[in-house]
Amino acid sequence: MTKTAVEKMEKLGPPDTAISMIGLGVVESDAGFVDFKPSWVNVREAQFHKLAQRRQGKETWTFKRFGMKPESRSPEDLRRAHYREALNSLSTACKKAFDCLSRKMENQIRRQRSALVYFDAWGESSIFETPNSWRDAVSLDLLPKAIAREYGVSAFSCKLRGERSGFLQGLRVAADVLNSGEVDTVLLFGIFRAFPGMVLSEASSANALHGRAKTHLNSTINYSIERSGCVILRKDPGAGIALNVSDYFLLPEHSRRARRELTERWRASTGEDTASVYAGMHPSSAMQALESGAFDRLEHKANYFSICDMYGDSACLNPMLALSHLHSTGQLQQRRHALISADDGQAGIWLIECWSGANG
């Protein structure tokens, strides 16, 4: 083995600041998909829909939301989806994450110092939900108190709003508090609510890397799916999947330079031990083409996965879906590595490097 290969392998080992994901749970609505149709009484919504079609290269937006009845087929049901099922799904996601642990580890976590980090896509969303009580409004806008009470969280808690970067921002906060030694466990959980007006408004925003020619549309569907998810994070080397989040970087606006820059960033974070690269976390056809083109320029024989193609779009939860795929398929073998590339919707990229632990 050459000196360069040895240096590359050493580089791909988890740094001292890496944290371990030991549990994960993701929940989605069991309602059916309903196509969005602009209302003739809401001109602004119709305008967002038309712009979103042009700029994302998608012909149809279809939604799957918590709080819709399974037999719902009316476009108006998309706007009236009740929040109660969404709040309950957060508790279910946390329970699924703890189901990944042994009973001994679960009891240990409950006795130790635990922190709670909560994120969503839109921030204070009770204005869209019309909650039945102030307690529900607090759970929607600030923190679901029932979860903090259930798992004995007392060391630290906060709410983050990061749009598509919500989960990544949460990972960085979790890494900071775990590496500080102030807490033993971080419960990082969040939810994506697909309010049609907000989803289409975000999709219609101008972005050079996400845009398409206005005269051409793909005959494709954008699936916007509400999900909630939870990961349990600790500072336990050798357990679960080790994670490290890179610094944030912006891509050039010119697509060719952006593809070259992305290739170089991926090449610096991958090697022969890299099993897979996850990208395609923004529904833009142009962005997905840019990312697949960047992967084609890599020399490594890794698998490539597009999250939106596999799972639909869940905005801030898309990077967690990549972790879920790693966790459920067992792709990471001993001393294996994977890379998750998350587009934040503003031409910025976060990279999550993942390593298998001794027990992963």
64-91 pLDDT, tens digit per residue, is 999 987 777 777 888 889 999 999 999 9
One domain, residues 113 and 199 = yes
Domain, as residue range, for 263? 3-16+241-355
In 3D space, the residue among 59, 63, 61 whose CA is nearest the CA of residue 34 turns out to be 63
**CA 16, CA 181: separation in Å to the nearest integer?**
13
248 and 334 both lie in a single domain: yes
Residue 5 pLDDT: 40
Q: Does one domain contain both 210 and 326? A: no
Q: Is 227 or 163 the better-scoring residue by pLDDT?
A: 227
Rg, the chain, Cα only = 20
- Cα–Cα distance list, 39 to 36, 128, 202, 304 (Å): 9, 17, 18, 39
pTM for the whole structure: 0.91
**How many domains does the chain divide into?**
2
Q: pLDDT value at position 335? A: 62
Whole-number mean pLDDT of the chain?
87
Instruction: Please check whether residues 88 and 204 belong to one and the same domain.
Output: yes
Q: Which amino acid is at 113?
A: R
Domain boundary (208, 234, 260) is at 234
Name every residue whose Cβ is closer than 8 Å to that of residue 312 and which is 6 or more positions away in sequence: 64, 222, 223, 224, 225
293 and 204 in one domain?
no
pLDDT digits (tens, 9 = 90+) for 196-216: 989 999 888 877 777 664 434
Q: Would the pLDDT of 280 be above 90? A: yes
pLDDT of residue 55: 82
Residues 41, 172, single domain; the answer is yes
Q: Could you tell me if 205 and 246 lie in one domain?
A: no
Among 207, 234, 261, give the residue marking a domain's end. 234
pLDDT for 235-277, tens place per residue?
988 789 999 999 899 999 888 999 999 999 999 999 888 999 9
- Residue 21 identity (one-letter amino acid): M
The answer as to whether 332 is a domain residue is yes
**Residue 95 in this model has a pLDDT that exceeds 50:** yes
Residues 226 and 247 in one domain: no
pLDDT tens digits, one per residue of 301-330: 899 999 999 999 999 999 999 999 998 887
Query: Are 188 and 174 contacting, i.e. CB atoms less than 8 angstroms apart?
Result: yes
For the record, the structure tokens of 26 come out as: 């993701």
pLDDT at 106: 93
| Residue 177 pLDDT class (50, 70, 90 cuts) | very high
